[in-house]
Structure 1
Amino acid sequence: MLFRARKSTLPKTAAVLAALALALTGCSGSSPAASDGPVTLRFSWWGSDVRHKMTQQLIEAFEAENPTIDIQGEYGDWSGYWDKLATQVASQDAPDFIQMDAQYLGEYADRGALLELKDVDLSKFDQAAADAGKTADGQFAVTAGMNALVVLANPSLLSASGVSLPDDSSWTWEDYRKSAADITGKSKEGVYGSGAITGDASFNLWLRQHGKSFFTNDGGLGFDEADATGYFEMQAGLRDAKAVPPASVMTEDASASLDQQGLATNRVAMGWVWSNQLGALTKASGQALEIRRPPSVEGDAAKAEQFYKASQFWSASSRTKHPAEVQKFIDFLANSVKAGEIALADRGIPGNSEVRAAVAPKLTPTDALTAKFIDDIADEVGEAPAVPPAGSSPVSEVLTRYATEVHFSRISPQEAAKKSIEEIKGSLT
């Protein structure tokens, strides 16, 4: 659920910054041309055992087409990945290929640690998906897979409440609040209309619909205290209407695993999640969960400023000795149908529209629904959000914490806005 800020698994940002500051000077985007002889490259990523095996298949498929290139995998889990990477970068021992996350893309790009990917073909990517890996200084990452922010609805709980949801192409935030409150009032005790709507994703969407942005392209904040106050007032409105669970219940949900949270255990009728979570939540809930668009301010999906989020990115070290081969592999991952048929939706829906169409028949039913949704909203998606700047990794936890304080009625929306902005500004470097 979006409420969860992954606080327990976030790496030590201070350690990352300190390590990066040691060595990222003198990195150059200019590098030797393609090698004539054999080349050995290193590739680091995080993920499950299933992802490790699948990624190894991707490597083997590429090596079969490029027998002079040998790729060695270095993988682990999320919890230790970023501290290890920071240490490698600081000691000038970074892997050639780096699986990158949005919250650290700006961190590494701004400090010169990443190679500009000038030779990767993004012509078949939706523009917003391509731009997701682009900073003001260049294309330093390529989307490995796409997500979108969605509302998943539980048809069983909706039916039991007797509440029909408005059309998701025209519902407003007020429609959402009223519907969720109505569901809570007409359901058995312990069932709520909506799960929590907190964290950086919902905040970003809220700002975009109000003509603002979370960050600007130069790394500053794209909103002010009044904007944040409006968002926290929305949180208070959900609380007062009983559209969401009590703060104590939301707090318990935040520390639970995905399959133990409200949407998965049939305790909330609507949940705000990333689209790639449909499969896991459908399986956990035992319900055919329905994908719906988030609400908008104007009640018009075309003006909802929806955005694509990269589930992960492909990046490369600026210190690689083989930039041509590195970009050739990233191009294979991004644009090869063969790679798409191996990866399917493990890292999200393919960004390349032709690959997406080619693999659609091979997707699971839930992944196929997600892919269809990604295509359906293509004309409604706004510009890609600015890449988060260095030091911004704590922002989701900060926003969630202050939203929780509002739900507990411990502070006012105005106080939450002021304090969250102070804390976010303090984290930026």
Structure 2
Amino acid sequence: MTTFSRLSKIVALTSVSAVALTACGGDADGGGGGGDDVSLRFTWWGSDSRHETTQKIIDNFNEEHPNITVEGEYGDWAGYWDQLATQTAADDSPDIIQMDMKYLREYADRGALLDLSGVDTSTFDESIVENGSTEDGLFGVTTGINSLAIVANPELFEEAGVEMPDDTTWTWEDYAEISAELSEKLPEGSYGSSQPNEPGSFQVWLRQQGKHLTTQEGELGFEAADAAEYLSYWQDRVDEGGLPPASVISENQSTGPDQALMGQGNSALAPWWTNQISALTGASGVDLELLRFPSESGSAEDNGMWYKSSMLMSVSAATDHPEEAQEFVDYFVNSEESAQLNLVDRGLPANEEVRETVIPELDGADQRSAEFVESIGPELGEPEPVPAPGFSALQDIMFRYETEVFFGRQAPEEAAEQMIAEMESEMS
């Protein structure tokens, strides 16, 4: 059973909870001001270093708010969403939830999340606030921002004798030529480019054409012809050798930074999220660089990139302490103490004031990532609509149909039609 299916169990229970909380939302513990003792559960996923950092933030908050005790619950990504869905269905969800964009609407639309009107977002760019908002309110506050970008390995460019592209003017045709030339001149087992990073790469492609993967109304925002053109472009890169063979791609699709071709030092170009460059740099041992996406026009303003919420903070609609839970979220995203501990682990801080206190503390790959994310700001368009229910399944669907095309088992047009039908079924 998928996370989406498990969430169907929640509807009646959480709707009742939400109504009850609306009536008693002023529940009276008074935040840090000294009312009755309050205990809150906070759940997140991440690495050991994130667990240690988050616990320090919790300890600092608890010390400053003697009548509030936040207790941590954490794990890895693999089991996080199944556990959260099960807890929510059983009316046992944590009070405070580290949330991912692809699941936000699945929970918010079922009344499982609290409107976070009590959290101060006045120092956030409006587009970043919109990342966590639906037509019904603000249900996720962005911890930090990132963007999908092209990661480049300058050592492989130098080894191949290929000049690094000007990322403010390059086109998709340039990308094709450069990746093919790199593959031709690099040793066997190294490639000009890795496969697209889905669904983000497709979102960039569609945004360059004024479209979106999903709309604000929860429907697909593209047609079969758009998907077929996209699949054909990447199939041509495989056929021309700019991308690895289909067998290598299928093994590399779902790997993390350490095991990916880029992390292993075997890909000169690859789309990754900007906050992952530190892990990729550490794995490869190379000072990797970040580039803008190519565009059809060769203009940086047309590159289709956007600020994505690296992750968000949400509060359960079933919490007994909505004010105190929001007070913790406010501290987490707005305090300098929290920012100095998080640095860019949860993205470049969304709060623009605390961001300026963090950037001087960064070095190496983290500093390059922060500088890149800030530099592209003037070029970016509107944010993506909040992902529709069922969005979390789209990555696997895209990977499967891309693999079929790359192996030559389906034509791009056939794969596009079937891919859309499966996506619509998942989102219905």
Identify whether the pair has TM-score above 0.5, normalized to the shorter chain.
Answer: yes
Give the alignment of 1:273-292 within 5 angstroms: 273-292=272-291
- C-alpha distance in 2 between matches for 1:358 and 1:14: 39
2:36 paired with 1:46: no
2:13 paired with 1:13: no
Q: CA deviation at 1:79?
A: 2.1
Q: CA deviation at 1:412?
A: 1.0
Query: Are residues 198 and 74 of structure 1, via their aligned partners in 2, closer, same or farther at CA, if it must alter by over 3 Å?
Result: closer
Alignment match, 2:313 = 314
Alignment match, 2:345 = 346
- C-alpha distance in 1 between matches for 2:77 and 2:190: 33
Alignment match, 2:194 = 195
Alignment RMSD: 1.6
The alignment's TM-score, normalised by the length of structure 1, stands at 0.94
Alignment match, 1:6 = none
- What residue identity is the alignment partner of 2:403? T
Which range moves more in the overlay, 336-345 or 59-68? 59-68
Aligned partners of 1:15 and 1:83 also within 8 Å: no
Tell me which of 7, 13, 25 is aligned to 2:15.
25
CA displacement 1:207-229 (0-9 Å, x = unmatched): 11111101111111111111111
Give the alignment of 1:161-240 within 5 angstroms: 161-240=160-239
Runs of 4+ in 1 over 3 A off after TM superposition: none
Q: CA deviation at 1:279?
A: 1.0
- C-alpha distance in 2 between matches for 1:306 and 1:168: 13
Secondary structure of the residue aligned to 1:258 is: coil
- What residue identity is the alignment partner of 1:32? G
- What residue identity is the alignment partner of 2:331? F
- What residue identity is the alignment partner of 2:199? D
Alignment match, 2:127 = 128
Aligned partners of 2:4 and 2:106 also within 8 Å: no
- C-alpha distance in 1 between matches for 2:339 and 2:4: 36
- C-alpha distance in 2 between matches for 1:34 and 1:202: 47
Which range moves more in the overlay, 102-111 or 12-21? 12-21
Query: Are residues 255 and 197 of structure 1, via their aligned partners in 2, closer, same or farther at CA, if it must alter by over 3 Å?
Result: closer
Query: Are residues 325 and 46 of structure 1, via their aligned partners in 2, closer, same or farther at CA, if it must alter by over 3 Å?
Result: same
- C-alpha distance in 2 between matches for 1:127 and 1:163: 40
Q: CA deviation at 1:256?
A: 4.3
2:314 paired with 1:328: no
Q: CA deviation at 1:64?
A: 2.1
Aligned partners of 2:14 and 2:317 also within 8 Å: no
Aligned partners of 1:38 and 1:69 also within 8 Å: yes
2:69 paired with 1:70: yes
CA displacement 1:355-383 (0-9 Å, x = unmatched): 11101122242111111111111111211
Alignment match, 2:83 = 84
Alignment match, 2:32 = none
Aligned partners of 2:97 and 2:316 also within 8 Å: yes
- C-alpha distance in 1 between matches for 2:60 and 2:338: 8
Aligned partners of 1:140 and 1:315 also within 8 Å: yes
Q: CA deviation at 1:252?
A: 2.1
Secondary structure of the residue aligned to 1:379 is: helix
- What residue identity is the alignment partner of 2:111? G
Alignment match, 1:3 = none
Aligned partners of 1:153 and 1:289 also within 8 Å: yes
Query: Are residues 226 and 259 of structure 1, via their aligned partners in 2, closer, same or farther at CA, if it must alter by over 3 Å?
Result: same
Q: CA deviation at 1:21?
A: 4.0
Secondary structure of the residue aligned to 1:393 is: helix
- What residue identity is the alignment partner of 1:235? W
- C-alpha distance in 1 between matches for 2:255 and 2:330: 38
- C-alpha distance in 1 between matches for 2:119 and 2:106: 22
Alignment match, 1:379 = 378
- C-alpha distance in 2 between matches for 1:145 and 1:17: 26
Q: CA deviation at 1:22?
A: 5.8
Alignment match, 2:157 = 158
- Quote the sequence identity (%): 44
- C-alpha distance in 2 between matches for 1:314 and 1:356: 17
CA displacement 1:19-52 (0-9 Å, x = unmatched): 3346232223621244132211111111222211
Aligned partners of 1:117 and 1:141 also within 8 Å: yes
CA displacement 1:62-90 (0-9 Å, x = unmatched): 12222211111122222222222122212
- C-alpha distance in 2 between matches for 1:116 and 1:21: 17
* Structure 1 unaligned residues grouped into runs of 5+: 1-10
- C-alpha distance in 2 between matches for 1:157 and 1:351: 34
Number of paired residues? 419
The alignment's TM-score, normalised by the length of structure 2, stands at 0.94
Aligned partners of 2:41 and 2:94 also within 8 Å: yes
Secondary structure of the residue aligned to 1:291 is: strand
* Structure 2 unaligned residues grouped into runs of 5+: 30-34
Aligned partners of 1:13 and 1:391 also within 8 Å: no
Secondary structure of the residue aligned to 2:310 is: strand
Query: Are residues 409 and 21 of structure 1, via their aligned partners in 2, closer, same or farther at CA, if it must alter by over 3 Å?
Result: same
Alignment match, 1:241 = 240
Q: CA deviation at 1:354?
A: 1.4
2:389 paired with 1:395: no
Secondary structure of the residue aligned to 2:119 is: coil
